[in-house]
């Protein structure tokens, strides 16, 4: 197939990238029978229009661009009222015989913060698969009896 008109190539490239998520400069050049440089110019134009993101050897959908997740402190500011409500509701489900495991994350942090003081002497456990969550003592509570468990080791 030979497509010499830029607008037609652009439509074809957009169709291909939407169907597969990525396209190769070399494959498109061969399929459309144009030079790699022509495809790279098409990519530059389509990237400027917001349809794709150029990567080495081709292009990917704009939605597939690598993004960074907000940091822990930024995530704390996202839906704080809902997280507090989740924490309060979870804490209300606990009793004196309850043992819990708390994973990492800002919502889990609100659960730890909402635990009733009476539970401080009971079996409260924090399971951290990556160790990225601030330690429970930062909650201003005494969790010296809790186990902080990480893959391959346990820390008392």
Q: What is the pLDDT of residues 72-105, one digit of tens each?
A: 778 888 888 998 899 889 888 887 777 777 777 8
What are the start-end ranges of the E strands in 8-87? Answer: 22-24, 52-55, 58-61
Per-residue pLDDT, averaged over 124-133, amounts to 44
CA–CA dist 107, 101 (Å, integer):
13
Residues above pLDDT 70, as percent of the chain:
67
Burial status of residue 7 (CB atoms within 10 A of its CB: 0-12, 13-18, 19 or more): exposed
pTM comes to 0.43
Angle at 116 between CA 113 and CA 121, to 5 degrees: 105
Q: State the angle between helix axes of 36-48 and 25-32 in degrees (0 to 180), rounded to the nearest 10.
A: 110
H/E run at residue 90: helix 80-92
DSSP SS3 for 83: helix
Of 40, 33, 78, the closest CA to residue 57 belongs to 40
Of 100, 109, 105, the closest CA to residue 141 belongs to 109
- Give the pLDDT band (50/70/90) at residue 148: low
Tens-place pLDDT, residues 7-28: 999 999 999 998 888 999 999 9
Of 99, 103, 89, the closest CA to residue 122 belongs to 99
């Amino acid at each position: 197939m030979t497509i010499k008109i830029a607008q037609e190539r652009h439509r074809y490239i957009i169709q291909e990238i939407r169907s597969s998520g990525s396209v190769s400069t070399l494959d498109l050049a061969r399929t459309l029978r144009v030079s790699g440089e022509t495809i790279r110019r098409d990519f530059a134009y389509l990237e400027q229009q917001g349809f794709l993101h150029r990567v080495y050897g081709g292009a990917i959908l704009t939605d597939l661009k690598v993004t960074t997740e907000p940091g822990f402190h930024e995530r704390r500011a996202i839906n704080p009222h809902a997280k507090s409500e989740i924490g309060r509701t979870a804490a209300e489900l606990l009793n004196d015989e309850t043992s819990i495991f708390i994973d990492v994350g800002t919502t889990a942090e609100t659960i730890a913060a909402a635990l009733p003081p009476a539970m401080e002497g009971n079996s409260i456990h924090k399971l951290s698969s990556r160790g990225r969550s601030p330690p429970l003592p930062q909650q201003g509570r005494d969790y010296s009896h809790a186990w902080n468990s990480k893959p391959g080791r346990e820390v008392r």
